[in-house]
Structure 1
Amino acid sequence: MFFHSWEFLILLVATAVAYYLPVVCGRRRVWQVSLLLIASAVFYAWENPKLLLLLGVSCVINAVAVERILFWKSKVASSRREGTEKEADALEQDAPSARERHLEHRARRWLVGTVAANLGLLAFFKYAGFIAGWLPEGWMGKSMLEWLRGIPLPVGISFYTFQGISLVVDTWRRDISPHSMAMIRRRGRDRPASIRDLSFYISFFPQLVAGPIVKAHDFLDQIGAKRWGDIDWITVRRGLVTGYFLKIFVADNLAEQTGVLALGADKVEGMSTVVSMSLLYGYSLQIFADFAGYSLIAIGLGALFGYKLPPNFNFPYLSTSITEFWRRWHLSLSSWLRDYLYIPLGGNRKGGGRTYFNLFLVMFLGGLWHGAAWKFALWGSLHGVFLAAERLVQRGAKSGEQRLNPRKSSRLRSLFSKLFACSKWFLTFHLVTLLWLTFMMPDLESIGAFFHAAGSLRFGFSGPPVFALAFYGTTVVAYHAWGWLSEHRDVLARKLARSPLEPLCHSLMVFLVVTNPGAPRGFIYFQF
């Protein structure tokens, strides 16, 4: 079910009306959580009800695991308290220590086993066919190989798998508030309520299929009774209007032109330089509008039901380095990879060489997370190389700054700094844009054909691609111009936000969405 379908609109209205019905205060929380859990199940199972079984298995596995981890950790804590209260000889003191290690091992086995189960499900459905293709011919029967290659990719599996891992790891680290700890450790007759709440966290439908990826310690404390009067209507309006505008008016209209890039080398190699570059820039703006639009809709829908979802984009095309780009693009994935992969690998704490390797490895795996194909691995690897190179250059630049002559004209230094920042922005934008070809084009041969066409210096003109870039792409440029104003002229930006300009712009956005929508199509990140 798509956010921009009539079926979703009916589901949303019915859910919102029932959600805020006057229910006895003591039962409001149970009613609302249960209702959203049912709505999430309907939303996810609409196209393929069988996929709901996989989501349910994931929810139950993670819910049971966190209770078991907390159970064994509580045994460890009890054993330690008993050890400190006893006055015994050395031999008697050694016994609790051995017991504590045993109990800690039991808890760790649940952690490792559950993370492995999450990754195993993800690997089977997403990478089984890809891995099978590596095997030498004859190692696997042809029918089995075809079956593995034909396994359908469950929508959103990458996102809810990462949230399940976040839940288990945050529980192990005790990075969850005492209130939430008490909620997820319930046993006996209260176990179904715990599974319900944790399943709600993993499957909350606004962000279920394409994020933002929400960490357990950021969401669990929000689970509670919600009231109509507490809705943050500004966030709802900004998220829904801007999100639908970016998706339906911008991304879907650009996609009608940029779709030719996915047709392969034969359709690309005869293009002129103007047309090929228009399509390249158009797709760069399209993928931002598509994914940022989804994220904003998710944030708006979350606010409608009283839940705050994290921002996922911070005007990424203002970046002046690849490092900054990843601090602005897909923030929830960047944050997840940092907290649950980069830092556990050692981060930057084990020397320069290890830091560069960790950066490369994290981005390589992040590339494969986007899809089971070598083109995604190449995309992630190149981003990793650029991140490591920038870190190396920055270290040299810091030592060079100490040798600069401080007597140079401050005006000249300011001018040089602005020109240098502009050149860095230009280079970063084009590096990012060129790398998006790996997302759109089917293979490396097609990418090579595109570069051949772009470098041919044929200046033939085709109206639709250039018009689409100029008309629809301009709105993305204006969106980032607003971002630049917010960051560099914040006083003026706040005044404009409080003026009639914002509701006027939102009214214009709604008008354009209604009068000039693109052909309906799914979100790009649904395939990941």
Structure 2
Amino acid sequence: MLSFTPYENPMYFGILGLALLPIVIGILCGKRFHWYETLISVFFLVLTFGGPKITQGLALITYLVYEVLLVWVYTSYRKKNNQTGIFVATVILAIIPLVIVKLTPAIQEGKQAIIGFLGISYLTFKAVQTIMESRDGVLKDFSPWFFLQFLVFFPTISSGPIDRYRRFKRDYDHVPKQEKYFQLLQKGLHNIFMGFVYKYMLAYVFGTMWLPKLEHYALMAHGLSWSLVGVMYVYSMYLFFDFAGYSLFAIGTSYFMGIETPINFNAPFKSHNIKEFWNRWHMTLSFWFRDYIYMRLVFFFMKHKVFKSPKTTANVTYIINMTIMGFWHGVTWYYITYGILHGVALVVNDWWLRYKKGHPGKIPHNKFTEVFATFVTFNFVCFTFLLFSGFLNTMLIAK
């Protein structure tokens, strides 16, 4: 049986184009064929998780049954009751599979958890946010069958972007007007074309042609070198173009299906400060952490008066939030350090913005200072991406 990683093979795009054709014709005629959308979702899941990846496929099926039942039980319970303990227990139960997958390699020396599969993080984020929105009372109409459709929406299943239940449902239940759909088709085609440029041209140049050579020279230098500086910048460019290219494919495919999946990247390296960077980089992930971890921790700390100052509350929560993000990437010192550094940077950034606001006129603001701020932000981000890459860990082991 053939098995493809999404958007990694020319044949995958050929099959994708044929599969999308009936959907395009249907929407242009003012109809949605939900049965067909379900059919091709199953088909592409088999294509992704079949063959040599059948173990992942079985893990996916088990996970989906578990999460759908869990969220269904909680949303049914929430209609009549709202105990905090039950809510917390449900969230913990929802994230346990992901925690096992993340901790297993650290505990068992690189061994992968048998319950792991491509995209488990993003499905867990969707499940947790649905539980939290049900707890908040904003999600009143829950359908287990639709929730399953939401989880396994095949264009985004492996690496996002992370959509929201209610936003996705509005598009799923709605047939866009022909004029609107023509615009979606145009944007979808543009995104897919740019995805090819990003992933198969620019990411190839940075990640395949340049990065291995620079890493070799940096390892030969046994310490700080210009080659290591090159690794820092080249890896950062590769990471962006590879992931942004994938996201463009996923978004473009979604548009063809009449689903306006949110964008994930918005020129992040133009950011003037680190907070702006996180409003531009992997946006659906950073917004998820903001809405479902940061804001809820701030509310909890303020409600229970854990800290006297709102500034202290925000600062502590920044660091907790970004440290959790670091742990989510993996239980290694370089991922965790990456998260902590970004948390500290957000604290410093807020302090600097408050200082500028409190001392109007003392800090110049012009084109030069804007360029300088962008330069500082860009270099800080690239340095943390060097940490994130794990290459410094490789250098330490090589010594």
Secondary structure of 1:69's counterpart equals helix
CA gap of 1:448–1:424, structure 2 versus 1, over 3 A, is farther
2:233 to 269, 272, 281: 281
2:323 corresponds to 1:364: yes
CA gap of 1:252–1:118, structure 2 versus 1, over 3 A, is farther
Corresponding residue for residue 99 of structure 2? 123
Take 2:103 and 2:217, find their aligned partners in 1: how far apart are those partners? 23
Take 1:113 and 1:29, find their aligned partners in 2: how far apart are those partners? 38
CA gap of 1:214–1:267, structure 2 versus 1, over 3 A, is farther
Is the 1:310–1:332 contact (alpha carbons within 8 Å) kept by the matching residues of 2?
yes
Is the 1:44–1:205 contact (alpha carbons within 8 Å) kept by the matching residues of 2?
no
Take 2:71 and 2:394, find their aligned partners in 1: how far apart are those partners? 47
Corresponding residue for residue 37 of structure 1? 41
Secondary structure of 1:343's counterpart equals helix
| Deviations 1:153-184 (CA, angstroms, capped at 9, x unpaired) | 522111111111112222222323x6xx1xx3
The 5 Å alignment of 1:30-429 reads: 30-46=34-50, 47-74=52-79, 76=80, 103-105=81-83, 109=86, 111-130=87-106, 132=107, 145=108, 149-151=111-113, 153-176=116-139, 181=141, 184-185=142-143, 194-195=144-145, 197-224=146-173, 226=175, 229=178, 230-231=181-182, 232-256=184-208, 257-260=210-213, 266-269=219-222, 273=226, 275-346=227-298, 351-401=310-360, 404=361, 417-429=366-378
Structure 1 letter corresponding to 2:111: R
Bigger CA drift: 436-445 or 426-435?
436-445
Take 1:227 and 1:390, find their aligned partners in 2: how far apart are those partners? 42
Query: Which sections of structure 1, spanning at least 5 residues, go unmatched?
Result: 77-102, 133-144, 186-193, 406-412, 451-528
Structure scoring higher RCO (CA < 8 A, sep ≥ 6) equals 1
CA RMSD in angstroms comes to 3.1
Take 1:263 and 1:199, find their aligned partners in 2: how far apart are those partners? 46
Is the 1:118–1:161 contact (alpha carbons within 8 Å) kept by the matching residues of 2?
yes
Secondary structure of 1:151's counterpart equals coil
Cα offset, 1:308, TM superposition: 0.7
Cα offset, 1:352, TM superposition: 1.6
Secondary structure of 1:48's counterpart equals helix
Is the 2:7–2:13 contact (alpha carbons within 8 Å) kept by the matching residues of 1?
yes
Is the 2:24–2:256 contact (alpha carbons within 8 Å) kept by the matching residues of 1?
no
Is the 2:41–2:153 contact (alpha carbons within 8 Å) kept by the matching residues of 1?
yes
Corresponding residue for residue 388 of structure 2? 439
Take 1:127 and 1:345, find their aligned partners in 2: how far apart are those partners? 23
Output the TM-score relative to the length of structure 2.
Answer: 0.85
Is the 2:231–2:386 contact (alpha carbons within 8 Å) kept by the matching residues of 1?
no
Q: Which has the larger radius of gyration?
A: 1
Take 1:248 and 1:258, find their aligned partners in 2: how far apart are those partners? 15
| Deviations 1:252-272 (CA, angstroms, capped at 9, x unpaired) | 121122135666973453895
Take 1:359 and 1:261, find their aligned partners in 2: how far apart are those partners? 34
Take 1:71 and 1:214, find their aligned partners in 2: how far apart are those partners? 23
Q: How many residue pairs are counted as aligned between the two chains? A: 381
Bigger CA drift: 378-387 or 62-71?
62-71
| Deviations 1:263-300 (CA, angstroms, capped at 9, x unpaired) | 69734538952x44333322221111111111111110
CA gap of 1:13–1:116, structure 2 versus 1, over 3 A, is same
Is the 2:386–2:392 contact (alpha carbons within 8 Å) kept by the matching residues of 1?
no
Take 1:262 and 1:441, find their aligned partners in 2: how far apart are those partners? 12
| Deviations 1:386-431 (CA, angstroms, capped at 9, x unpaired) | 1111112222222111xx38xxxxxxx98x5222111111111111
| Deviations 1:451-480 (CA, angstroms, capped at 9, x unpaired) | xxxxxxxxxxxxxxxxxxxxxxxxxxxxxx
Structure 2 letter corresponding to 1:255: G
CA gap of 1:10–1:331, structure 2 versus 1, over 3 A, is same
Secondary structure of 1:175's counterpart equals coil
CA gap of 1:32–1:225, structure 2 versus 1, over 3 A, is farther
Take 1:434 and 1:261, find their aligned partners in 2: how far apart are those partners? 16
Take 2:35 and 2:174, find their aligned partners in 1: how far apart are those partners? 9
Cα offset, 1:444, TM superposition: 3.6
Bigger CA drift: 357-366 or 7-16?
7-16
Structure 2 letter corresponding to 1:223: Y
Cα offset, 1:104, TM superposition: 3.1
2:15 corresponds to 1:11: yes
CA gap of 1:115–1:54, structure 2 versus 1, over 3 A, is farther
Cα offset, 1:446, TM superposition: 2.2
Is the 1:29–1:225 contact (alpha carbons within 8 Å) kept by the matching residues of 2?
no
Take 1:60 and 1:228, find their aligned partners in 2: how far apart are those partners? 35
Bigger CA drift: 222-231 or 322-331?
222-231
Is the 2:162–2:285 contact (alpha carbons within 8 Å) kept by the matching residues of 1?
yes
Structure 2 letter corresponding to 1:35: L
2:389 corresponds to 1:430: no
Secondary structure of 1:313's counterpart equals coil
Is the 1:359–1:387 contact (alpha carbons within 8 Å) kept by the matching residues of 2?
yes
- Percent identical among aligned pairs is 25
Take 1:21 and 1:425, find their aligned partners in 2: how far apart are those partners? 45
Secondary structure of 2:314's counterpart equals helix
